[in-house]
């Protein structure tokens, strides 16, 4: 019905494929075991799937992040966006990080999901920033793009390829050049 009405695709906040992280977020209604089937079903109608993932929750460690990065690539998502957990003012996670004195940045302009503004619980900030960088570089590598998208030209396929190649370029030019730690900000 969505495809017939002109829907081009869905942006889905999967957040994580790691069940413990989803529990921590209060999103136990997200069932990672159903994600592959959901993605395949949407794509069977010729629609685009853009998945969004959050890295850096308290239950995240390097293993859970590797898993969260690996699954989107293997699920053949058309696009993926990886972002840091961002403790926006007024949220429960913000107040928790204030109580635990784990905020590292007081510049509200940096609270944009692209900057790490707190001390992670199970890994160093440098390790989390490295994993974020690697998530983008891995998902938008030429090898991964070819494996995910293939060469079967379907509806919007040239558009999907064009955007993926633009993101390949962006990740190499911007994200690939970043050296960590990006900054040593103190509140």
| CATH code of 23's domain | 3.30.750.200
Residue at 131 is within a domain: yes
**Measuring CA to CA, which residue among 55, 78, 29, 43 is closest to residue 133?**
55
Of 171 and 30, the one with more pLDDT: 171
- Per-residue pLDDT, averaged over 152-178, amounts to 75
Q: What number of other Cβ atoms are within 10 A of residue 92's Cβ?
A: 9
Q: Please enumerate in sequence order all residues whose Cβ is within 8 A of that of 140, keeping only pairs 6 or more positions apart, or say none.
A: 164, 167, 168, 170, 171
Residue at 185 is within a domain: no
Q: Which two tokens stand for residue 125?
A: 């900030």
Cα dihedral sign, 53-19-64-58: positive
Residue at 30 is within a domain: yes
Cβ(134)–Cβ(104) under 8 Å? no
Instruction: Report the C-alpha gap between 54 and 15 in whole angstroms.
Output: 5
pTM score of the predicted model: 0.82
Residue at 187 is within a domain: no
Q: What pLDDT, on a 0 to 100 scale, did the predictor assign at position 66?
A: 84
Residue at 56 is within a domain: yes
Q: Which two tokens stand for residue 64?
A: 């859970």
Q: What pLDDT, on a 0 to 100 scale, did the predictor assign at position 37?
A: 86
Range of the domain at 86: 9-175
Residue at 99 is within a domain: yes
Q: Please enumerate in sequence order all residues whose Cβ is within 8 A of that of 38, keeping only pairs 6 or more positions apart, or say none.
A: 12
Condensed to tens digits (0 to 9), the pLDDT of residues 37-84 reads: 888 888 888 888 999 998 998 988 888 888 888 878 788 888 999 999
Q: What pLDDT, on a 0 to 100 scale, did the predictor assign at position 129?
A: 92
Residue at 64 is within a domain: yes
Q: Total domain count for the chain?
A: 1
Instruction: Report the C-alpha gap between 26 and 125 in whole angstroms.
Output: 24
Residue at 1 is within a domain: no
């Amino acid at each position: 019905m969505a495809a017939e009405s002109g829907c081009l695709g869905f942006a889905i906040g999967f957040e994580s494929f790691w069940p413990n992280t989803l529990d921590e977020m209060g999103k136990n209604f997200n069932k990672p075991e159903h994600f592959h089937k959901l993605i395949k079903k949407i794509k069977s109608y010729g629609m685009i799937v853009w998945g969004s993932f959050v890295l850096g929750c308290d239950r995240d460690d390097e293993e859970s992040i590797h898993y969260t990065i690996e699954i989107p690539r293997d699920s053949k998502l058309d696009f993926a966006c990886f972002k840091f957990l961002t403790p926006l003012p007024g949220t429960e996670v913000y107040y928790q990080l204030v109580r635990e004195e784990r905020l590292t940045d007081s510049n509200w302009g940096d609270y944009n999901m692209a900057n790490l503004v707190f001390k992670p619980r199970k890994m160093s900030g440098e390790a989390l920033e490295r994993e974020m960088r690697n998530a983008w570089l891995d998902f938008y590598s030429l090898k991964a793009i070819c494996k995910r998208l293939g060469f079967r030209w379907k509806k919007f396929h040239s558009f999907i390829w064009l955007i993926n190649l633009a993101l390949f370029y962006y990740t190499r030019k911007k994200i690939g050049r970043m050296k960590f730690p990006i900054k040593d900000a103190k509140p």
